[in-house]
Amino acid sequence: MALDRGAATPFYLVRSEPIQASLRELESQPFGFPTRHWFSCKTQPAAPVLRWWRGQNRPIEVVSEFEFRAALREGFPATSILVNGPAKHRWLPRVSIPGIRVHFDSMNELKALESQARAHQWKLGLRLRTRGEMDPENPDRPTQFGMDPSEFQVAVRRLQRLGLPLETLSFHLRTNVPSPDFYQAALQEAAEVCEAARFRPRHLDCGGGLPPPHVLMRRGIRYDARMSLQELASMYRRQRHRWPSVEELWLENGRFLFAGSGALAIRVLDIKERGGLRQLICDGGRTLHALISTWEHHELIPLVPRRGTKIRTVVHGPTCMAFDQLAYRQLPKGIRIGDVLIWLEAGAYHLPWETHFCHGLAQVWWEDDAGLQLARDAESFEAYWGRWR
């Protein structure tokens, strides 16, 4: 246990075993295509996770210069790096190496990068924005990603005319896709777009989006309430005949593979009782470590079980923001100052959204077959302040 080894709250604990278990679950599904799972680096950009994934000879998907450089630093070969995301023309030219895979997100990006694509022998894909890809917060507005079908066709023709190796059709619908129907609608639309463009992809990259188990929306419903892996795989099998040229299905699931691999440990520093509420003020919380708690509800368990009636409790972080509420729920009255609380499913979109709001970054512990080790120190004052010139 990390606390016995000197871990100091707040800290994240990340373990390889749950990642392996989720991979096994996904890989046991017969999707009807040979399937390749890419590590969505943005989900959990932590060095030990990259090293572990690399050690399994698995490929990585990156969307920024720093992620790309991290993948190179950790020894991923060029052919195992897929560069995705918008506006890559701003940074990719200064760090590109031969042989990588690049998915163009727009015509402007394609035109800005096509000569480098040739010079560096990139393998190429195009990201399609399917009809269903609307901003979840503003459902009347399309998302900003990928190319609409008409633009997609122009891009296919251009790359074919230039003789560049266009191999992949890619889309990423959104995160926490509610059911297989959404992927099915996207696949049907994508097949029509490919037909119209006379594009026969070798790879079909359907992005990420699978909801992880155990995570609830704030209204208490599981994100995966209507998602079944068996039904998803069966849907892919039914679509197989529409994609005769496809040699591999590519998936980039972040949350599904990684959420369960992490936990956040925080300590209760102060307790207030007011307005019929118990307020636990802790050394970590939403603002610093778990922005995701704004819309997700995860399990929160006291490390040492406490008795007592359960009462309405708010778990606050230490920042001066009323917003800093990791959880609001019934918790045992016996919880006291000094107790450690564990927030689960913290292995996806916690570390990359950690903030520096008046405090330094937390420790990160990593556990794999070789044991438990401190992977990242808590940020020191010197690191926090010393970067100012």
Which positions lie near ligand PLP, rule CB under 6 A?
Answer: 40, 43, 84, 172, 175, 207-210, 252-256, 348
Q: How far is the CB of 127 from ligand PLP (least distance, A)?
A: 8
In the bound state with ligand PLP, the residue whose beta carbon lies nearer, of 11 and 250, is 250
In the bound state with ligand PLP, the residue whose beta carbon lies nearer, of 126 and 210, is 210
The DSSP 8-state label assigned to residue 318 in this structure reads S
Q: How far is the CB of 43 from ligand PLP (least distance, A)?
A: 5
Distance CA 243, CA 33 (A): 10
**What is the residue whose two structure tokens read 């727009």?**
106
Q: How far is the CB of 61 from ligand PLP (least distance, A)?
A: 6
On the 0-12 / 13-18 / 19+ scale of CB atoms within 10 A, 28 is exposed
* Phi and psi torsions of 145, nearest 5°: -100, 150
Contact 168, 250 (CB under 8 A): yes
Q: How far is the CB of 235 from ligand PLP (least distance, A)?
A: 17
Distance CA 281, CA 318 (A): 6
Q: How far is the CB of 174 from ligand PLP (least distance, A)?
A: 7
In the bound state with ligand PLP, the residue whose beta carbon lies nearer, of 180 and 208, is 208
Q: How far is the CB of 48 from ligand PLP (least distance, A)?
A: 19
In the bound state with ligand PLP, the residue whose beta carbon lies nearer, of 53 and 256, is 256
Contact 235, 206 (CB under 8 A): no
Q: How far is the CB of 205 from ligand PLP (least distance, A)?
A: 8
In the bound state with ligand PLP, the residue whose beta carbon lies nearer, of 207 and 284, is 207
The DSSP 8-state label assigned to residue 147 in this structure reads B
In the bound state with ligand PLP, the residue whose beta carbon lies nearer, of 100 and 280, is 100
In the bound state with ligand PLP, the residue whose beta carbon lies nearer, of 3 and 217, is 217
Q: How far is the CB of 351 from ligand PLP (least distance, A)?
A: 13
Q: From residue 142, how far is each of 135, 145, 146, 150 by CA, in Å?
A: 6, 9, 10, 15
Cis peptide leading into 10, omega within 30 of 0? yes
Element at 140 (helix H, strand E): strand 138-142
Distance CA 363, CA 168 (A): 39
In the bound state with ligand PLP, the residue whose beta carbon lies nearer, of 115 and 144, is 144
Contact 329, 300 (CB under 8 A): yes
**What is the residue whose two structure tokens read 């155990």?**
214
Give the orientation angle of helix 16-27 with respect to helix 47-55, to 10 degrees: 50
Distance CA 22, CA 24 (A): 5
The token duo for 86 is: 């918008």
